[in-house]
Amino acid sequence: MSEINYLERPALVSLEYPETGEMKRALEGKRAVVTGGGKGIGKGISIRLAEAGAEVVIVGNSNMAMAEETAALIGSRGGKAYTFGVDLSKPESAAKVVAFAAEKMGGIDILVNNAAYQPNMDVTEYSAKLFKSVIDVNLISYLRMSMASFPYLKESGEGRIVNVGSVHSKRPTGFDFAYATSKGGVGMLTRETAAAFRPYGVTCNTILPGGTNIEFKTENPDMGKLHTIRTVRINRGRDFVAPGYRYGFPSDTGNLAVFLCSRLGEHYNGCAIRADGGMVLF
C-alpha cells in the first residue's frame, strides 16, 4: 500500500458563531484525548481535532514511534499534541491516561475512544483468552476511559465522547468474529453512556467507519500474511467492486469527529453514524 497522505482531504476547521458573526476554529480551546491516536483512523482524528483548535493527548501502546510522528506533524502545523504510552487492556490504564491529560492540559473536554485490537482470525482459531483480549481493548477500555474522564467532561459543560465503532457492528466481517462482536457492543455502550451522561451536558456518539485507506496494522503477532490475504480477498469480493464506492480516508472520520465535538454536534446524542461510503448498501 502506498504512503497515506493524512492532509489530502478538505478539513472542517472553522465555524461562524451567531453571537458575534465571527469565524473561529470549531474546537478552539478544547482539550482532547484520542486513544489509538497515532496511526490509521486515530491519526486522522487526532490531526483534524488539532486543525480545528484542540490540544490533543495521543494515547498509544505497541507503536509509540508513530504516535510521536503524529504529534510532531501536529506541532509542525501550529498545533499542540502530547503522547502517552499505556496498555489499555489493564484496569489501571484509564486513570493513568486521565491523570496525564489533566496534568498536561488542565482537563478533558473531548474523549475519542478509538483503540482497537483486530487479530483477523477465524472462529476456529480463537481461544477464549484471545477473545477476551479483543473485548478488553475494543470495548472494556471504552467503558473505563469514559468513566475515568467523566468528572472532567461534566466540568466542561460541553463534554463530548466519540466512540469509533465499525460497519461490522451491522454486518459480519467474514474474517474476525471477535472484532465484530466487540464493535456491536460499542453501539449499545454508546447509547447507555449517552443516556447516563445526558443530564450533565455530555454527549456520546459512535462513528462507524467502513473500508479505510490506512497503514496495515503494526506489531500484531496474530495478524500474519495469511490473515491479511484473507481479509483483502473477502472485502474486495464482497464490497469494494460496487460502482461509485471508494475507500474512506482517515480524514473522513476525522472531519465527522470534529463535527460531533463542536457546537454543530450538540444536538446529536446516542447516534451511530456510518462513515463508509455506502459500504453496507452493497
Domain residues for 258? 22-274
pLDDT in tens, 11-68: 889 988 888 888 999 999 999 999 999 988 999 999 999 999 999 999 999 889 999 9
Residue 30 lies in a domain: yes
pTM score of the predicted model: 0.88
The whole-number pLDDT of residue 237 equals: 43
Residue 203 lies in a domain: yes
C-alpha span between 83 and 97 (Å, rounded): 10
For the chain, which residues score pLDDT lower than 50? 1-2, 218-240
pLDDT in tens, 139-158: 999 999 999 999 999 999 99
Residue 10 lies in a domain: no
Residue 151 lies in a domain: yes
Give the number of other Cβ atoms within 10 Å of residue 236's Cβ.
11
Query: Residues 207, 208, 212, CA angle at the centre, nearest 5°?
Result: 110
The whole-number pLDDT of residue 192 equals: 97
Active-site option among 179, 200, 247, 268? 179
The whole-number pLDDT of residue 227 equals: 45
Residue 76 lies in a domain: yes
C-alpha span between 67 and 74 (Å, rounded): 11
CATH number at 46 reads 3.40.50.720
Residue 154 lies in a domain: yes
Residue 15 lies in a domain: no
Q: Is 142 a catalytic residue?
A: no
The whole-number pLDDT of residue 206 equals: 97
C-alpha span between 27 and 36 (Å, rounded): 20
| CB within 8 Å of 87: residues ≥ 6 apart | 61, 93
| CB within 8 Å of 249: residues ≥ 6 apart | 8, 9, 44, 212, 213
Residue 4 lies in a domain: no
Q: How many domains does the chain have?
A: 1
